[in-house]
Amino acid sequence: MTNNVNALKKLAAQIRLGAMEAIQARGFGHVGGSLSVADTLAVLYGAILRVDPNNPKWPERDKMVCSKGHAGPAVYAALALKGYFPYEDILTLNQPGTNFPSHCDRKKTPGVDMTTGSLGQGTSLAVGMALGDRLKGRDSRMYLIVGDGELNEGQPWEAFMFAAAQKLDNLTVLIDWNKKQLDGFVADINDPQSFAAKMEAFGFHTQQVKGNSVEEVLRAIQACEEVKGRPHAIVLDTIKGAGIKEVEDTFSNHSMTPKPEVIQGWVQILRDQIAAMDGGVFDA
């Protein structure tokens, strides 16, 4: 693990590249939400999570549940870069017989701690896992990534209330506030008002940071470790499609079917970003 900011920035770019190469191989996929959460995944897998890729089911490990399971391409890229399986495997994304379905599946993919993608349910699962670890006397920490759109559902808020009542300070909720969901802007569909104010009101130790800044995400997660007796919430102020300007500027960027030459251009943009970090040499 590392606290080196430049290394984390490079890892975030590599996660974006992996997600795009996987989607490129399939021809379509969840582009926007995979890109927006790449920086958080880089911090988790590059600096925070206590895991063992050679023993994915190690009981004492820290755990990560990506409730917004459609961000699977980014999760798979992070796991591949961490060494859970060969990088080339993710190029079978969402294809017949794959171990890398569109939404995360713990029975198929090493390193995936919980099956998700039926939006709104991942929070309950993560809260239950965090409680289970505490009851078993483990010092494991649980990190939950939720989308802003899925918080239209009532189930996460019931789980948040339960987590606060149980004082699950081993739980950190990371809200990917990228402002959009499948069918438009979150504020237009079911305006959540302030996620930070709500989480604080529900009893969470709450922070709001620039979610596409690895520095801010890292500091926020580290700060959670110093606060006891309350679950934690970090509202990630992100851009849907972050890292590729054309995707950022596209309104309907939740799931995309770009022309082959277009997605190849996006892949090249990310390769160029990584090459610049390496002093002009791209290391595949």
225-282: pLDDT as tens digits: 999 999 999 999 999 999 999 999 999 999 999 999 999 999 999 999 999 998 544 3
Q: In the prediction, which pLDDT does 2 show?
A: 53
Asked if 5 and 13 count as a contact pair (C-beta separation under 8 A), the reply is no
HEC readout, 254-266: CCECCCHHHHHHH
Please give the Cα distance from 188 to 95 (Å, whole number). 34
Q: Phi/psi zone of residue 111: left (φ > 0), alpha (ψ -120 to 50 degrees), beta?
A: left
Q: In the prediction, which pLDDT does 178 show?
A: 97
The residues near 38 (Cβ < 8 Å, ≥ 6 apart) are 12, 13, 15, 16, 19, 74, 242, 243
**Residue 21 phi, psi (nearest 5):** -70, -35
Please give the Cα distance from 166 to 155 (Å, whole number). 17
Q: Which domains does the chain have, with CATH numbers?
A: 5-277 (3.40.50.970)
The residues of the chain scoring below 70 in pLDDT are 1-3, 279-284
Q: In the prediction, which pLDDT does 132 show?
A: 98
Q: In the prediction, which pLDDT does 90 show?
A: 97
Asked if 29 and 102 count as a contact pair (C-beta separation under 8 A), the reply is yes
Q: In the prediction, which pLDDT does 117 show?
A: 82
Asked if 119 and 103 count as a contact pair (C-beta separation under 8 A), the reply is no
Neighbours of 266 (CB within 10 A): 25
Asked if 41 and 82 count as a contact pair (C-beta separation under 8 A), the reply is no
Buried b / exposed e over 108-129, threshold 16 CB at 10 Å, is ebebbbbbbbebbbbbbbbbeb
Q: In the prediction, which pLDDT does 279 show?
A: 59
Q: Are strands 184-185 and 180-181 parallel, antiparallel or unpaired?
A: antiparallel
Asked if 17 and 274 count as a contact pair (C-beta separation under 8 A), the reply is yes
- Ordered DSSP codes for 168-207: -TTEEEEEEE-SEETTEEHHHHH----HHHHHHHTT-EEE
